[in-house]
Structure 1
Amino acid sequence: MAKKEKIGKSTDREKIIEYCTAKFLREGFYLVTVDQIASELRISKKTIYKFFSSKDELVKEVALKMMKEVNNKIETIINSEDDSLTKIIMLFEVMSGVVVKFSEKWLKDLQIHTPGLWKQIDDFRTKRAFTALGSIMRQGQLEGIIIEKPIELIIHIFVNTIRSVVHPDFLYHQKFSYKEAFIHSFEILFNGILTSRGKKIFDKIFPKVIR
């Protein structure tokens, strides 16, 4: 039975989004009804419709909230004073932390039932990844940690590999979880672009992160 929760009047909207974020990521959203959400939160449907005109709008708000949170974390990493490899590991932790929350139902529902929103999410993660990785990779080359190869090519390979591997259609036929696929891809890719010095640092740091 779903956990029941009372909502205070001053935070109705935020708590509805918070509750639905956990529920949608775990169960998907297509089969979830507004009646069900209202019942589990012990509020009226009217309260939900006061803030969200439809379930589709609620799903969109959940996705936008997640993108905003990820973007803020990435900005903090990029603007930190850390070396490039530390930034890369921190970026990995942020991305894997998000991926591990996703269920196959959530991703499949996005693709099938809200293709426009799925495209928006996919565009966001692609463009944001290009920007973040570009900044960090350039720093890494200056530090002698990343090999001297065209930055644009390295980023393109990284982004498209992660997009294709951490994807419902691929993972549906594999034995990997989302997190496992992400970790394996990340490790394989980085072993190909690090200098000897970078690999020594990576081998010391990375095992601690994936435990």
Structure 2
Amino acid sequence: METNQGLLIEKISRIFFTKGFQKISMDELALTLKISKKTFYKYFPSKEQIVRDCAFTFLKKNIEAIQSIAASDENPILKYLQLLSHIGNNIATINKVWLEDVRSSMPSLWTEIDEFRKLTLESSMQILYREGLQQGLFKEYPEGLIVRLFSVSIRGIMHPDFILNADFEPKTALMNTIHLLLTGILTEKGMKVYKEIQKRNEL
């Protein structure tokens, strides 16, 4: 992606994630960004393409952050919590209007996003679970079951249907769910580490 186009995507993302995209025309975007319609349409032939570019640029940045957390030298319990805190903070930056627009006018986009996110989450969760087992922090269960359980729970809370209909904050739901799942697989040693992290309030 060209640098200028990348900057435009960042600016448009801030608009879309705050106000949604259905009620904003291509011409309005060009005017707001103070560029000619000719230049704007050269970069973005359709609004659907803009929405996709915004969504996947945001997603890729977050996936890079998730992979960075998973690859760090911190203990796997802290990394689990950091990963979920990061996801929760990012959910909070997206207005419900954006999610409603995606759900109503581009549901296939969310399916693509979810599949992309699923692969990253399951890969990262697998790494962390194996590290936790090796360090005696996690109990031994079928790896595939644990990985999918965490993945499905996280993605379920991030789904537009859940966020738009929940009467509590998604980040709160996310952290409470992970607390329940995580404490269910912690060994006695792991529980001590978890309580120490909570005392230090490292998130």
Q: TM-score, normalised by structure 1?
A: 0.86
CA distance in 2 between counterparts of 1:38 and 1:209 reads: 43
Kept after mapping to 1: 8 A contact 2:121/2:151: yes
Q: Which residue of 144, 168, 173 maps to 2:165?
A: 173
CA distance in 2 between counterparts of 1:11 and 1:129 reads: 29
Deviation for aligned residue 1:131: 0.7
CA distance in 1 between counterparts of 2:71 and 2:163 reads: 34
Distance 1:171 1:64, change over 3 A: closer
Kept after mapping to 2: 8 A contact 1:130/1:155: yes
The runs of at least 4 consecutive aligned structure 1 residues that moved more than 4 Å come to none
Q: Which residue of 89, 92, 112 maps to 1:97?
A: 89
- 1:175 is paired with a residue whose SS is coil
- 2:165 is paired with a residue whose SS is coil
* Aligned AA (1:80): S
CA distance in 1 between counterparts of 2:198 and 2:40 reads: 43
- Indicate the residue corresponding to 1:35 in structure 2: 27
Kept after mapping to 1: 8 A contact 2:139/2:186: yes
- Comparing 113-122 with 196-205, greater Cα deviation is found at 196-205
Distance 1:185 1:39, change over 3 A: same
Kept after mapping to 2: 8 A contact 1:93/1:209: no
Kept after mapping to 1: 8 A contact 2:122/2:151: yes
1:145 paired with 2:134, answer no
- 1:172 is paired with a residue whose SS is helix
Kept after mapping to 1: 8 A contact 2:30/2:40: yes
Deviation for aligned residue 1:81: 2.4
- 1:139 is paired with a residue whose SS is helix
* Aligned AA (1:33): S
- 1:32 is paired with a residue whose SS is coil
Identity of aligned residues (%): 31
Distance 1:171 1:78, change over 3 A: closer
1:199 paired with 2:191, answer yes
Kept after mapping to 2: 8 A contact 1:147/1:194: yes
- Indicate the residue corresponding to 2:124 in structure 1: 132
Deviation for aligned residue 1:51: 0.8
CA distance in 2 between counterparts of 1:80 and 1:12 reads: 32
CA distance in 2 between counterparts of 1:171 and 1:18 reads: 24
* Aligned AA (1:189): L
- 1:165-187 CA distance string (max 9 Å, x none): 33332343332122222122122
CA distance in 2 between counterparts of 1:27 and 1:206 reads: 36
Structure 2 portions without partners, runs of 5+: none
Kept after mapping to 2: 8 A contact 1:16/1:48: no
- Indicate the residue corresponding to 1:88 in structure 2: 80
Q: Which residue of 29, 50, 75 maps to 1:58?
A: 50
- 2:74 is paired with a residue whose SS is coil
- 2:22 is paired with a residue whose SS is coil
CA distance in 2 between counterparts of 1:22 and 1:209 reads: 29
1:123 paired with 2:115, answer yes
Q: TM-score, normalised by structure 2?
A: 0.89
